[in-house]
Amino acid sequence: MSNILIIKHGSLGDIAQASGAIQDIFENHKEDQVYFLTTKPFFELFKKNPFIYDVILDKRKSRLNLIYLYSLMRKLKKLNIKRVYDLQNSSRTKFYKNILFKNSNLDKWSSSETTLPKDVSKEEFDKNPVLDRFDHQLKISGLETNHTMKPDFSWSCVNIDKVKAEYNLEKYILIFPFCSPHLAHKKWPYYNELIDLINNKYNNKIKIVVAPGPMEINDAKEINATCILNNENALDISQLSSLIKDSSYVIANDTGPAHMAAHLNSKGITLFGHHTSAKKVSIERENFKPIQVEDLNKLSANKVFEKISQNIDL
């Protein structure tokens, strides 16, 4: 038995996308123990992952913090790692590679750089869809990939019967109208208008809810929807996963919860402007579809309503 390390820091959406690749790595290393290096927001979450033996916290402190860097590298070296699968593929993880396994090839360190196609720059390779890049990396590393292209994030779910009972949730549409403050260009401005259209058509027979993050609770007061909290706090990732999975429909900006919905096999749509394409971020699934426009401010509530009204089941 050997020790394998997967590295994935990322954002919430990145974590959901990587679920299939993590499962494939596990299934190709069933005789080994798979460790997972991640950041604080996902540390407790990945303790639930059935494909991970143990989780290691990376506080991602400055590279000039030599005491922290020495401590983390010492912990990793003690594991006597047989192989690393770098699913983050960042300058930081490349820095770790140069410390842990300098000059090693893909037999020791699998990354987008060590598996890069011939005559293709990393800059050009990174234009490919996210899941395509994972799939290429793992296949070139000698792994059979059965799940990478179809991630299943349902491992993250927990029982939320208590939350659902508190808010009397049976059939509900879940909306995610928020985004990070520095990504305001991803935000669609007409959610309240869309909510009015939905309520008018369905005579309030289906509840419309919003599940804000910790920094979005005040903003949720501006949305005409039931705000779902747990003891006045935002739901944690596992609770949010379950809320998404049990919903009748999800409507979201291009955010982490939208990627969760896509890989929880939820029915819904996500709204994209010019900032990127749905294809590049691998968000389109059988039940979860994008609406892509050049300018989100010009996408009317009526247009979105027309798109979703045939797909909402009562």
Residue 267, domain member (yes or no)? yes
For residues 296 and 211, membership in a common domain is answered with yes
Number of domains comprising the chain: 2
Smallest Cα–Cα separation from 186: which of 95, 256, 248, 236? Answer: 256
Q: Does residue 13 belong to any structural domain of this protein?
A: yes
Is residue 313 one of the residues assigned to a domain? no
Residue 186 shares a structural domain with residue 235: yes
* Among candidate residues 117, 152, 187, the one where a domain is terminated: 152
What CATH number has the domain bearing residue 83?
A: 3.40.50.2000
Q: Tell which residue, 147, 156, 155, 139, has the closest CA to residue 21.
A: 147
pLDDT per position in the chain (314 positions), as tens? Answer: 899 999 999 899 999 999 999 999 999 999 999 999 999 999 999 999 999 999 999 999 999 999 999 999 999 999 999 999 999 999 999 999 999 998 888 899 999 999 999 889 989 999 999 999 999 999 999 999 999 999 999 999 999 999 999 999 999 999 999 987 777 778 999 999 999 999 999 888 899 999 999 999 999 999 999 999 999 999 999 999 999 999 999 999 999 999 999 999 999 999 998 878 888 899 999 999 999 999 999 999 999 999 998 777 65
pTM of the model: 0.93
Are 97 and 29 contained in the same domain?
Answer: yes
Per-residue confidence (pLDDT) for residue 314, from 0 to 100: 54
Q: What per-residue confidence (pLDDT) applies to 125?
A: 93
Rg (CA), the chain: 21
Task: Please report whether residue 185 resides in a domain.
Answer: yes
Exposed / middle / buried, residue 200 (Cβ in 10 Å: 0-12, 13-18, 19+): exposed
Are 309 and 201 within 8 A, CB to CB? yes
Does residue 301 form part of some domain?
Answer: yes
Same domain, 253 and 281: yes
Distance in angstroms (rounded) separating the CA atoms of residues 21 and 69: 27
Q: Which of 130, 152, 174 is the last residue of a domain?
A: 152
Same domain, 146 and 172: no
Q: Which two tokens stand for residue 12?
A: 């919430």
Name residue 85's beta-bridge partners: 6, 110
Q: Are residues 100 and 211 in the same domain?
A: no
Domain shared by 118 and 195, yes or no: no
Residue 99 located in a structural domain: yes
Does 72 reside within a domain? Answer: yes
* Domain range for 82: 3-152
Among 152, 177, 196, where does a domain finish?
152
Is residue 129 domain-shared with residue 206, that is, in the same domain? no
Question: Are 201 and 124 within one domain?
Answer: no
User: Could you tell me if 167 and 290 lie in one domain?
Assistant: yes
Residue 33 domain-assigned? yes
